[in-house]
Structure 1
């Protein structure tokens, strides 16, 4: 019997804050993935990426930290973004990461993606909408369902003081997103 392929997920958080709720979502996803056969989730830290500046591209080469990030994106099968909302949009660190990896050649193209978010009011939903718009140009293929937004400030508490997700229902919803991303990635890889 052939081994089930491993789907490699690059998990990227748009927040750099240590106790970020969105980073907490991704920590939960990494933990949840350990109980799912055929998937591997790697959290990619974008905090060391310099702000996009094409003067940093020398002789067609990117700074080493940027090239390492681009290679992680290139070798991943799909992406899971945790996108907090700033001014109805994605955060500057996330946009910066998207831009660096879209420099020629665009290493995001033709892969599956999903987006999750936690925040106030709409739970980051407007950032998700804007990220999907950006994804059109990057040739990303976002799953449509299930959607995951979480109002982090509505009782009962969803996170502990360190930003770790403690809500069991939210964890189940995250697992559903991860399984859907996995299935969609397999369909794309098989050309269906």
Structure 2
């Protein structure tokens, strides 16, 4: 008699990039994570959520308890997700202004981030964006996001050999494997928070 293997529940991951630049290495990380989730991880559906349409946070834009259409659409996408993958470049030792703006809009009442699992990946010079991770984790405490602790992924893109091609796509196999490890950990933590594993 063959053993029946239960399929893993599908989790919906909202992927956000802190850089608005089309050729951003961090956006390249999101593309790679999306490909990996489709090709080699059962039970993850990932959607890239563009934060560029969001206006700068201004509570004067809140009218009769409603937010501007772009904000409402963004908040709905986050609300419907099970977990969040941030690609967070480091600007001045911290997260980028567009990413902080998106987080702040999502935290307006009712907070759409609460009790979701999250993970961070980043690419850049120096420490590869690592210092942005610490500020993002601090922000997460107040908005009730629960970040995986390990593995961490921050990639120095300027150390040889080349990690990205000329179109900003990640080509380094070791880095791809590390991103897969982050996604597997995020999946397991999400299911654990939901009481499904």
TM-score normalised according to structure 2 size = 0.95
The answer to whether the aligner puts 1:131 opposite 2:136 as a matched pair is yes
- Aligned with residue 175 of structure 1, among 170, 173, 180: 180
For 2:129 and 2:111, locate their aligned partners in 1 and report how far apart those are by CA, in whole Å: 26
Partner of residue 25, structure 2: 21
2:146 is paired with a residue whose SS is strand
Larger radius of gyration: 2
Give SS of 2:101's match: helix
CA shift, 1:161, in A, is 1.3
CA distance in 1, matches of 2:22, 2:138: 28
Within 2, Cα distance between the matches of 1:161 and 1:129? Answer: 30
After superposition, the C-alpha distances for 1:109-150 in whole angstroms (9 at most, x for unaligned) are 011000010000000000011100000001000000000000
What is residue 15 of structure 2 aligned with on the other side? 11
Quote how far apart the aligned CAs of 1:4 are.
Answer: 3.0
Match of 2:111 among 106, 126, 136: 106
Residues 55-94 of structure 1 correspond to what in structure 2 (within 5 A)? 55-94=60-99
Listed as ranges, the gaps of 5+ residues in structure 2 are none
SS at structure 2 position matched to 1:113: strand
Counterpart of 1:154 in structure 2 is 159
Equivalent pairs counted in the alignment come to: 192
Q: So what's the TM-score if we normalise by structure 1?
A: 0.97
Root-mean-square deviation (Å) = 1.2
Unmatched segments (≥5 aa) in structure 1: none
Q: In 2, distance between residues paired with 1:164 and 1:39?
A: 21
